[in-house]
Chains A and B, each alone.
Chain A
Amino acid sequence: MLIVDADKCIGCGVCEENCAFAAITVVDGLAVVADTCTLCGSCVDECEVEALHIEGAEKKIQADLSAWSGIWIFAESRHGVIAPVAFELLGIGRKLADQRGVQLTAVLFGSGVRDSAADLIASGADKVLLADHPELLQYREDVFGRVLEQLIREHKPEVVLAGATAIGRSVIPQVATVLGAGLTADCTGLAIREEDGMLLQTRPAFGGNIMATIECPHSRPQMATVRPNVMAPAEIDPDHRGEVIEVELTDDLLASRVEVLETVISEGEQVNIQEIEVLIAGGRGVESEKGFDLIWELAAELNGAVAASRAAVDAGWISYPHQVGQTGKTVCPKLYIACGISGAIQHAVGMQSAETVVAINRDANASIFDFATYGLVGDLFEIVPLLTKKIQEQRGS
């Protein structure tokens, strides 16, 4: 605990200025510590009259950890629709919560998303913290970050999970930074260590060539973003009961320095390839924008989406949101069919964790076959339409 020596304190306010967490304020000439204090100690070092000290720092940090309880997931919504990854987070979150014997809470931000709270409860949430406000219709880093930060300070969850999506990977680092919390990006595995209840977060590093397991031994909450499509979505139980709690939103929480002038949903790109189970990818071998028609047709037949290598994007045959690989997106579909992609490592790192990889290439020595479950050697302009046709027949029969 942070102790203020009232005899020494001169109320100069240096501690107040230096507190990154706004947890210490001078009231009537005396520093007063709020319960948002993280015991970081920066005020102790700054105090010129040595009026501050942290009592039993070592022990208290441990005691402080136990004050944090419960598993939270951030249920991302866009244009009023909850992102599929939220239900995957509920799936893994439920397991973690049961193992810890704590509640699972979903945090839902948006505008007009009130009705979706029931879906989150049916997918396993015990509580939904609902922040429904027109100002939350558009995603803005500062507003989302501040609201989430305040909720975490107030409720003290031990774990906070979010999707490793454009929004999740943008807002969560801000929140973790101001809370002084450990954050692991783009996890593909989460587990609780039995001995001490610590969250073990596993993620690929160095483009998937290496896996690392990470823990946050001294800070709470333990925060992670989770790669979409890796965790199984929660099973739906319409009888599962939960509570919806409205979050109080004040004007200063909702004030933003960023103005949204326009939101553009790209035609034909409403799908996020990171959340799709079947991806058909085209590369240099597809030869043209017109060549991609074959890829689109196969994707449509398989209810999948279209991905591409950097070569195809650079050639202008398809737009950047479709690009898979080191400088594009990392995807994890159930089925990935690579057509006319040579399989440079820069592409492979973006797709090698797919469950099943099919490679179609005329060059039997192409590296893509090293990452493939099944390989077809031949002309994609012959094979792809044939595959589309055969699948059509299969489904028809």
Chain B
Amino acid sequence: MDIIVCVKQVPDAKDVRLDPETNTLAREGVEAIMNPFDRHALEEAVSLKEQLGGKVTVLSMGPPQAEAVLREAISCGADAGVLVSDRAFAGADTWATSYTLAKAVETIGDFDLILCGKQAIDGDTAQVGPGLAARMDLPYVTCVQKTREATDTGIQVERMMDDGYDVLLLPLPALLTVVKDINEPRVPSLKGKMKAKKAKITVLSAADIGAEEQYIGLAGSPTQVVNVFSPEPRGDRQVFTGTAEEQVDQLVDQIKGYL
């Protein structure tokens, strides 16, 4: 089974703050990591490959330094890495991103399955996976928590719902987005690290994938950011003192409105 895994390099959210002076994202000193959900998508792909044979290609759209997450993915068992990188992609929203990824997937060629993380932790949109499926006219399912059975022609999965889960059967090729419950990602092996170091990452430009200018980057994005601001801080906090009982009494007094 040939699998394409979409991964994104994201800033570690715990470090991101708005610079109050310039009103821009203060990204300095922020560590770049592989999006946590994508790690689970990768693990699922590698374990499916181990069961059924085939090849795992990791695909990312991003700046040249995003190559690092592709190498990391190779160290965890992926066979090849493709980075679509072009200044013209800058400012892409999820619509333009799914267009670009679809063009990149067409360039990569045949596949049986595309796996994505449920969402990226920087944007939290969860829109690129379904968008990519729509553009490629693939059957898709979001929030997959378990792969029950996979063959070369179909895949049976559990999809997490708000109140439980559904068991679904999809024909291949298909696209799945996964939640972290699906597996426990492995740590890279020493052999994997060596392989990743030597691996050649394919870098594709907008022209290489035949992307049309009006559909990529900021110009190709139907949504536009009007304003970015810091959320209102929570008001004064109150830490109670005294015995457990005294503290509980004070609390009950304060939260009466909710009782």
Q: Which residues of A contact B (CB under 8 A)?
A: 20, 41-42, 45, 78, 138-139, 141-142, 145, 165-167, 169-171, 173-178, 180-186, 200, 204-219, 257-266, 269-272, 274-275, 277-278, 302, 320-321, 326-327, 330, 334-335, 344-346, 349, 352-353, 356-358, 364, 369-379, 382-383, 386-387, 390-391, 394-395
A394 adjacent to B124 (CB under 8 Å) = no
Distance, CA A87 to CA B225, complexed state (A): 28
| Residue of A with least CB distance to B237 | A372
- Choose among A170, A259, A377 the residue with the greatest number of B CB atoms under 10 Å from its CB: A170
List of B residues within 8 angstroms of A364 by Cβ: 239
Given contacts A166-B142, A206-B122, 20 further A-B contacts (CB under 8 A): A41-B214, A139-B166, A145-B134, A165-B162, A182-B222, A183-B94, A200-B226, A207-B16, A209-B18, A210-B231, A218-B222, A257-B139, A261-B167, A265-B163, A358-B255, A373-B237, A374-B254, A375-B239, A376-B240, A383-B248
B228 contact set on A, CB distance < 8 A: 205, 210-213
Min CB distance, A107 to chain B, in Å?
Answer: 18
Out of A142, A215, A302, A357, name the residue touching B234 (CB < 8 Å): A357
Stretch of B59-67, B168-176, B197-205 with 4 or more beta carbons under 8 angstroms from chain A: B168-176
Binding-face segment, B46-54, B104-112, B125-133, B187-195: B125-133
| Chain A positions within 8 Å of B222 at CB level | 180-183, 216, 218-219
Report the Cα distance A145→B180, complex, angstroms.
Answer: 25
1/0 contact trace for B201-237 toward A, CB 8 Å? 0000000000010100000011111111111001101
Contacting residues of chain B (17-35) with chain A, CB-CB under 8 angstroms: 17-18, 25
- Alpha-carbon distance between A364 and B256 when the two chains are bound, in angstroms: 24
- What is the CA–CA distance of A113 and B97 in the complex, to the nearest angstrom? 37
Q: Are A259 and B168 in contact (CB under 8 A)?
A: yes
Report the separation of the CA atoms of residues A207 and B231 in the bound assembly, to the nearest whole angstrom. 11
Contact yes or no, A373 B234, CB < 8 A: yes
User: Is A374 a contact of B240 with CB atoms below 8 Å?
Assistant: yes
Query: A75: shortest Cβ distance to chain B, in Å?
Result: 15
Question: How many Å lie between the Cα of A209 and that of B126 in the bound state?
Answer: 18
Q: B244-259: which have CB < 8 Å to A?
A: 244-245, 247-252, 254-256, 258-259
Give A308 Cβ to nearest chain B Cβ, in Å: 13
**Of B122, B165, B245, the contact of A205 (CB 8 Å cutoff):** B122
Interface residues of B (CB under 8 A from A): 11, 13-14, 16-18, 25, 36-37, 93-95, 98, 121-131, 133-135, 139-143, 145, 156, 160-171, 179-181, 212, 214, 221-231, 234-235, 237-241, 244-245, 247-252, 254-256, 258-259
B55 → chain A closest CB, angstroms: 24
Known A216-B224, A374-B254, A390-B252; judge A327-B37 contact (CB<8 A): yes
Chain A residues whose C-beta falls within 8 Å of the C-beta of B163 in the assembled complex: 78, 265-266, 269-272
Closest to B170 in A: A258
* Chain A interface helix/strand/loop/mixed: mixed
Query: Cβ of A346 and Cβ of B231 under 8 Å apart?
Result: no
Q: Is the CB of B162 within 8 A of A213?
A: no
Residue among A215, A269, A349, A387 making CB contact with B226, cutoff 8 Å: A215
Q: A166-B142, A169-B142, A173-B126 are in contact. Are A261 and B156 (CB under 8 A)?
A: yes
Residues of B within 8 A of A167 (CB): 161-162
Which chain A residues border B171 with CB–CB below 8 Å?
257
A394 to B259, CA, bound (A): 8
With a CB–CB cut-off of 8 A, which chain A residues contact B238?
373-375
Q: Is the CB of A166 within 8 A of B143?
A: yes
Minimum C-beta distance from B61 to chain A (A): 16
Knowing A173-B131, A210-B18, A257-B171, the reply to whether A166 touches B161 (Cβ < 8 A) is yes
Q: What distance in Å separates the Cβ of B178 from its nearest Cβ neighbour in chain A?
A: 11
In the bound complex, CA of A217 to CA of B223 (Å): 7
Query: Nearest chain-A residue to B241 (Cβ)?
Result: A377
Q: Within the complex, what minimum Cβ distance (angstroms) separates A356 from chain B?
A: 7
CA distance A238 to B139 in the complex (A): 42
**Which of B98, B140, B227, B248 has the most chain A CB within a 10 Å cutoff?**
B248
Q: Which residues of A contact B250 (CB under 8 A)?
A: 374
Instruction: State how many angstroms separate the Cβ of B34 from the closest Cβ of chain A.
Output: 13
**Chain A residues with CB under 8 A of B124:** 185-186, 204-205, 207, 330
Contact present for A387 and B251 (CB under 8 Å)? yes
**Are A345 and B223 in contact (CB-based, < 8 A)?**
no
- Least CB distance from A148 to B in Å reads 12
Given contacts A185-B124, A210-B228, contact A174 B134 (CB under 8 A): yes
Q: Known: A205-B123, A320-B181. Contact between A216 and B130, CB under 8 A?
A: no
Q: Tell me the complex Cα distance, A104–B88, Å.
A: 39
Known: A216-B222, A356-B258. A166 touches B94 (CB 8 A): no
Given contacts A141-B130, A183-B95, A345-B13, contact A375 B231 (CB under 8 A): no
Q: How far is the CA of A320 from the CA of B14 in the complex (A)?
A: 22
- Choose from B221, B230, B259 the contact partner of A391 (Cβ within 8 Å): B259
